[in-house]
């Protein structure tokens, strides 16, 4: 499994980002490296190298950083590392979350790096088309080669960080394009950040529209997660 390293000038910031991403990807090694090694702000080349070695299970490591000089240190440490390491220029929090969820799903090094770098540029695929679902509950049905359902978010926090991550991990291996709609907004069902951006709270009803070979299974998985209150 791909590991992650979070490099920041602040030890607290690096640890916080690693903790947040780890909540959504419990099996991924996410190692923070922050501060100058003496308790102050800055970066430590040796510490970053040690973090890379700690995060590497043999499949590779993606390194994210916060400010310019942190990139220089990360690049130097990556060059000296024994395994495959990719340093990604991405928004630190969003990139770490997106990369962690992708790694949790078993993606390779290039895919995890791409998830991080495109963390803020993903958009929902609206090709499935709009339509209303049955008001009598999550009525699954085919509409113009799409499968859709209206699903109630029965958990307390709705589609926030951890529930969104669970949805993405459930959908990631499937051959299906999935759009989740809430009000006038829609999001790519395989993007944690896009799902969180919907702002769908607990008790809300969202429409899930899927197309592709595994469309029915995709909708079924989201329904199942919602019925279990996303494990809350």
CATH code of the domain containing 138: 3.30.1340.10
Across the chain, mean pLDDT equals 87
The residues, ordered by sequence, that sit 6+ positions from 181 with a Cβ below 8 Å of its Cβ are: 130, 187, 206, 207, 208, 209
Instruction: Give pLDDT, residue 232.
Output: 76
66 and 140 fall within a common domain: no
Question: Could you list the residue range(s) of the whole structural domain that residue 59 is in?
Answer: 3-117
Give the pLDDT band (50/70/90) at residue 220. very high
93 and 136 fall within a common domain: no
109 and 164 fall within a common domain: no
Expressed in angstroms, the distance from the first to the final Cα of the chain is 26
Domain count, the chain: 2
For 55-114, the pLDDT digits (tens) are 999 999 999 999 888 999 999 999 999 999 999 999 999 999 999 999 998 999 999 999
Compute and round to an integer the Cα radius of gyration of the chain: 19
Instruction: Give pLDDT, residue 68.
Output: 80
181 and 77 fall within a common domain: no
Provide the pairing of β-strand 177-182 with 205-211.
antiparallel
Whole-structure pTM value: 0.70
Domain stops at, among 83, 117, 151: 117
210 and 149 fall within a common domain: yes
Domain stops at, among 59, 94, 117: 117
The residue-averaged pLDDT of 130-152 equals 58
106 and 155 fall within a common domain: no
92 and 137 fall within a common domain: no
Instruction: Give pLDDT, residue 136.
Output: 38
Cα 62 from chain centroid? Answer: 14
78 and 150 fall within a common domain: no
Give the pLDDT band (50/70/90) at residue 121. low
Tokens of 94: 């969003």
141 and 97 fall within a common domain: no
148 and 224 fall within a common domain: yes
77 and 141 fall within a common domain: no
24 and 107 fall within a common domain: yes
**Comparison of pLDDT for 206 and 231, the residue scoring more:** 206
- How many residues does the structure list for the chain? 232
C-alpha–C-alpha distance, residues 222 and 214, integer Å: 13
The CATH number linked to 36 is: 3.40.50.510
Active-site positions read 9
- Cβ density class 4-37: b for 16+ within 10 Å, e for less: bbbbbbbbebbbbbbebbbebbeebbbbbbbbee
C-alpha–C-alpha distance, residues 166 and 163, integer Å: 5
| pLDDT at 168 exceeding the cut of 60 | yes
Domain stops at, among 117, 140, 164: 117
Query: Coil, strand or helix: which one is 87?
Result: strand
């Amino acid at each position: 499994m791909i590991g992650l390293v979070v490099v920041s000038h602040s030890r607290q910031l690096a640890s916080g980002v690693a903790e947040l991403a780890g909540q959504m990807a419990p099996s991924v090694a996410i190692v923070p490296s922050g501060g100058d090694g003496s308790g102050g702000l800055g970066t430590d080349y040796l510490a970053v190298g040690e973090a890379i070695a700690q995060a590497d299970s043999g499949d590779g490591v993606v390194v994210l950083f916060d400010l310019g000089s942190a990139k220089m240190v990360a690049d130097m440490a990556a060059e000296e590392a024994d395994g495959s390491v990719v340093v990604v220029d991405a928004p630190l929090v969003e990139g770490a979350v997106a990369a962690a969820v992708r790694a949790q799903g078993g993606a390779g090094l290039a895919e995890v790096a791409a998830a991080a770098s495109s963390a803020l540029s993903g958009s929902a695929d609206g090709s499935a088309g709009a339509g209303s679902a049955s008001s009598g509950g999550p009525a699954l049905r085919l509409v113009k080669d799409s499968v859709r359902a209206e699903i109630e978010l029965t958990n307390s926090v709705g589609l926030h960080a951890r529930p969104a991550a669970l949805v993405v991990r459930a959908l990631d291996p499937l051959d299906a394009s999935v759009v989740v709609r809430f009000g006038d907004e829609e999001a790519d069902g395989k993007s944690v950040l896009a799902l969180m951006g919907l702002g769908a709270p607990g008790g809300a009803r969202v429409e899930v529209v899927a197309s592709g070979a595994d469309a029915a299974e995709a909708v079924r998985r989201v329904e199942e997660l919602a019925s279990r209150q996303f494990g809350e």
